[in-house]
Amino acid sequence: MAVKRDLASPEATAMQSLEGIYRAEIGRLASLGTMLTGDASAGEDLAHDTFVQLAKRLRHDGDYVHGHAWPLLRTMIVRLAMKRRRALSRELLRLARVWQPPVEDRWEPDPSLLDWRAALRALPPRMRATVVLFYAEDLSTNDVAAHLGCSPRTVENQLRLARQRLAVSVRRSEESDE
């Protein structure tokens, strides 16, 4: 037996709104998640978890989304990615206290190949988010600062440091090619 929704109820209106937002923004949000995590599957999971958070908030406050949803979704996914990265770092630190791999079993990748995803993944989470929002999303430093909850000067410093780190990666790649 099918369950009928009362289309006039605020919850039904919020869910219809969520469905529309999902259809319009899931591809874009999954792409941003992939850029933030460096992995397509993890990026898609991050995008869906962002919508789960949005659904929970809409259930409590049907008017949570005012205007365009993309700026809110972008902020939510960046913060969720940073939260996951911190949790992963804490877990890795706990594991590192217990187990250390043998030195002779370490594998070193070929430094002659520059993998931009790996280079971005090597950046700290906040710096990576700054680079992705500024270069991939083409936001101004003021907009990036608003999304990350910091000052525009901090964004400029993060971008400068990221460019320096990425330049080192490029130099290493070029030196190993010669």
Which pLDDT belongs to residue 161?
A: 94
Tens of pLDDT, residue by residue over 22-69, are 888 899 999 999 999 889 999 999 999 999 999 888 887 777 777 788
Task: Tell me phi and psi for residue 61, to 5 degrees.
Answer: -140, 100
The answer to whether 73 and 29 are in contact (CB under 8 A) is: yes
The reply to whether 46 falls in a domain is: yes
Last residue of a domain, one of 48, 70, 98: 98
Residue 90: give the domain boundaries: 9-98
The reply to whether 104 falls in a domain is: no
In angstroms, the CA 5 to CA 114 distance is 53
Does 137 share its domain with 177?
yes
Q: Look at the alpha carbons of 61, 23, 36, 99 in this order and tell me if their dihedral is positive or negative.
A: positive
In angstroms, the CA 42 to CA 134 distance is 21
Q: 3-state DSSP call for residue 165? A: helix
Q: Taking the model in full, what pTM does it have?
A: 0.52
DSSP letter at 67 equals S
Does 92 share its domain with 128?
no
Residues of the chain with pLDDT under 70: 1-16, 100-115, 173-174, 176-178
What is the tally of structural domains in the chain?
2
Torsion of CA 108, 110, 113, 115, to 10 degrees: -20
Does 71 share its domain with 42?
yes
Which pLDDT belongs to residue 17?
A: 79
The reply to whether 105 falls in a domain is: no
Which pLDDT belongs to residue 5?
A: 47
Which pLDDT belongs to residue 3?
A: 46
Q: What share of the chain is helix, strand, coil (3-state, %, to 5)?
A: 75, 0, 25
The secondary structure of 84-135 as a DSSP string is HHHHHHHHHHHHHHH----GGG-----TTS--HHHHHHHS-HHHHHHHIIII
